[in-house]
Amino acid sequence: MNTRASWGKRATFGVGITLAFAYFFPFFLVFVNSVKLKYDILENPLAFPAPITWDNFQQALTKMEFFRSLTNSLIITVFSVSLLIVFSSMLAYYLARTKSKSSKYIFLGLVASMIVPFQALMIPFMALFAPFVSWNNRASLVFFYIGFGVALSTFLYHGFISTIPTEIDEAASIDGASDMVAFWKIIFPMMRPITATVAIINALWIWNDFLLPRLVLTRETQTLPLSTYLFFGQYSIEYGQAMAGLALAVIPIVIFYLILQRQFISGISQGAVK
């Protein structure tokens, strides 16, 4: 029995490590080729770089305007996620605590809207918002993310608020706290775990989103996925530079993940199961 168990364990480990290697392999190719000379890449993409060159990174940093795109991505993600947290937690609190027919229908409407793919309304969406977008496209993108993200975030908060006893609200109101004060001082701090989930799910979506920014943003305001895509399109023949550009695009989010690994995993499992 014991040997059978250990054989099973070894086999599982073997399969696991092979798959982990396979999953990592594309990134290995990107990193290893990002520091090679062009000729060396085509000679053997698998070989370790000799000599190592950092020119590719230097070129990619300027040509894809890395720091500007990174800043744009950060600004758009931070503002959208913060506003989504504020608005959807308040909306969810209202809908969960108001026991009326209309609040029930509003909630059902929000849930139903989650099935609508963006592509189904993308064309009239652009027709409607084209003038608005040209005025300030980063601000309008944040506005759009609130509109498209509010349903899921409210849904997640709603589930959590239902588990907070209403006695807490009542106690606060007896003590003379207004609705707003009671919500922000007492209820909101109690929702830390679900706020983390909402933040992570929305941040991942917004950070990586491509189609909406492609429609809305201009060259000056483009985000990291957008500038990477355009850069790759222009310089894909310059393999080394293209690989350096990809490496630069991958690194920020992976670092962020490695720091907050536990929150990511629990955030995603909670967000999906709800």
The residues in 235-264 that bind another protein, with binding defined as CB under 8 A, are 236, 239, 242-243, 246, 249-250, 253-254, 257-258, 261, 264
The four Cα atoms 242, 247, 253, 259 give a dihedral, to 10 degrees, of: -170
Cβ-proximal residues to 65 (8 Å cutoff; 6+ apart), any chain? 227
> How far is the C-alpha of 195 from the C-alpha of 95, rounded, in Å?
17
CB of 82 to another protein, least distance (A): 13
Under 8 Å between Cβ of 49 and 32:
yes
Closest to another protein by CB, 71 or 256: 256
Identify the residue among 146, 156, 198, 199 touching another protein (CB under 8 A): 146
What is the contact mask toward another protein in residues 80 to 109, using x (rule: CB under 8 A)?
A: -------xx-xx-xxx--x-------x---
Decide if residue 209 touches another protein (CB under 8 A). Answer: yes
Helix (H, G, I), strand (E, B) or coil at 218: coil
Identify the residue among 179, 184, 188, 234 touching another protein (CB under 8 A): 179
Closest to another protein by CB, 147 or 163: 147
Cβ-proximal residues to 97 (8 Å cutoff; 6+ apart), any chain? 161, 166, 169
Closest to another protein by CB, 24 or 48: 24
Under 8 Å between Cβ of 153 and 93:
no
Tell me which residues in 50-69 interact with another protein (CB under 8 A).
Answer: none
Among 48, 56, 77, 79, which residue's Cα sits nearest to residue 248? 56
Identify the residue among 37, 41, 60, 191 touching another protein (CB under 8 A): 41
**Element containing residue 16 per DSSP (H, E):** helix 2-34
Identify the residue among 37, 85, 150, 198 touching another protein (CB under 8 A): 150
- Candidate segments 50-58, 113-121, 155-163, 185-193, binder of another protein by CB under 8 A: 113-121
Decide if residue 46 touches another protein (CB under 8 A). Answer: yes
